[in-house]
Amino acid sequence: MQPISTLYIDRRALRYSETEKVRAALNLPATVIDDPGLVYQDLAGAEDSVARGKQVLLLTLNRGPFLRKCPGTRYYRCCGYKILHIGAFCTMDCSYCILQAYFHPPVLQYYVNQDKMGRELDRAFAGARRPLRIGTGEFTDSLIWNTCTDLNTRLVNVFAGQRKAVLELKTKTVNVEGLKPLAHNRKTIVAWSLNTERIMASDERETTTLSQRLATARACRELGYPVAFHFDPIVLYEGCEEEYLAVVDRMFEAVAPEHIVWISLGTFRFMPQLKPVIQERFPDSRIVYGEFITGMDRKMRYFKPLRIALCRKIAQRIRQHDPDVTVYFCMEDDEVWQRCMGFVPKQKGGLARMLDKSAVAHCDLDKKLLG
């Protein structure tokens, strides 16, 4: 991870105790601003505004909802996930990161008005009529914040005290020291994004190695945490099949299948405007030069027969290790499901129910929520 070198504080954030805690942890001089546009001016003047944005932190307020629906699309199967929007952007540097094109330019932000977040979680827990699956790793990495906040400690403790929701902390780091002493009550899932070592080396700068991630997953499992893994993005290249299957084997060597809540598969897909960003910032990367077509969501996707062929092999290898572990596709259609898995989600009550059942089974949630 790249170190944070510059700190800006939105004047409206000064009255929050979280602001002072982060400021003290970073031990950096801070510039108080009234207009966040000043941060964008700082980044816009950099030769590589994306790289600069990973070193500049803005402490500010989340003026929208903290708890949001996952931004899926009606054309592909979505899992009903809820995002806890704690901040934005990341200190690691992956070529395929959609945030490079999603924000203009991307700014590393952390939201300090967490009293509002707490109230939203309380309402969600009180009103839950089915299991809630909530994660912080959609717009940022869940565990990069462990270096300067105790947010995850507080979240784990909050989730530990109820039986209606699970928290998923998704990461490419090994920043789990703060999680070790916690009485999590199996309400927090620690999850890792996995890829082949070749893709990690070429397209995941400032991240940990495959061995480090798997060793940390094993350590978390030994502490009683349920774990999960996400193969996303799966990248097609010569020799990729053997390499992805080897990653699957190593994953199960690290963590026995009965301790894995779910495994997701998602092939590389991207907004067209991301391509020139990758070409400029990662000139040696080859990931944007595959056989792509425009999907129904207007993202570039691999030609369907190609992604089916690889995903079927990966799913089969997972099933060889354990036929009952929950495997699902992130944003795919029924044809891909049927040809890779042998069924479509509707036959099992829908994708959301599949994952809800796995969460209840692994995370000690109230079984009555399944109806």
**Residue boundaries of the structural domains of the chain:** 6-370
- Write phi, then psi, for 227 (nearest 5 degrees): -125, 165
**Band (103; pLDDT cuts 50, 70, 90):** low
pLDDT above 70 (res 323): yes
Domain 6-370 has CATH 3.80.30.30: yes
Length of the chain: 371
What is the pTM for the complete model shown?
0.96
- The pLDDT value recorded for residue 66 is 97
Confidence of residue 312 (pLDDT cuts 50, 70, 90): very high
pLDDT score recorded for residue 295: 87
Among residues of the chain, what percentage have pLDDT more than 90?
Answer: 87
Q: What mean pLDDT comes out for the span 329-345? A: 93
Buried b (16+ CB within 10 A) or exposed e, 279-290: eebbeebebbeb
pLDDT at 97: 94
User: How many Cβ atoms from other residues are within 10 Å of residue 114's Cβ?
Assistant: 21
Average pLDDT over residues 90-100: 94
- For position 195, what pLDDT does the model report? 98
Query: Which of 77-101 are b and which e, b meaning 16 or more Cβ less than 10 Å from the residue's Cβ?
Result: bbbbbbbbbbbbbbbbbbbbbbbbb
For residues 60 and 110, what is the distance between their CA atoms, to the nearest angstrom?
6
Residue 267: strand, helix, or coil: strand
Planar angle of CA 333, 352, 170, nearest 5 degrees: 95
Pick 44 or 183 by higher pLDDT.
183
Q: How confident is the model at residue 305 (pLDDT cuts 50, 70, 90)?
A: very high
- pLDDT score for 1: 75
The percentage of residues in the chain with a pLDDT greater than 70, rounded to a whole number, is 97
Q: For residue 253, count CB atoms less than 10 angstroms from its CB and return exposed for 0-12, middle for 13-18, buried for 19 or more.
A: exposed
Q: How would you class 155 by CB atoms within 10 Å of its CB: exposed for 0-12, middle for 13-18, buried for 19 or more?
A: buried
Distances from the Cα of 65 to the Cαs of 18, 100, 121, 186, 310, in angstroms?
A: 18, 22, 11, 26, 38
**CB neighbour list of residue 283: distance below 8 Å, 6 or more residues apart:** none
Inter-residue contact 316 to 339 (CB < 8 Å)? no
User: For 216-269, how does the pLDDT look when each residue is reduced to its tens digit (9 = 90+)?
Assistant: 999 999 999 999 999 999 999 999 999 999 999 999 999 999 999 999 999 999
**What is the predicted pLDDT for the residue at 72?**
63
Sorting pLDDT into bands at 50, 70 and 90, what band is 298? confident
DSSP, collapsed to helix, strand or coil, labels residue 74 as coil
* Mean of per-residue pLDDT scores for the chain: 94
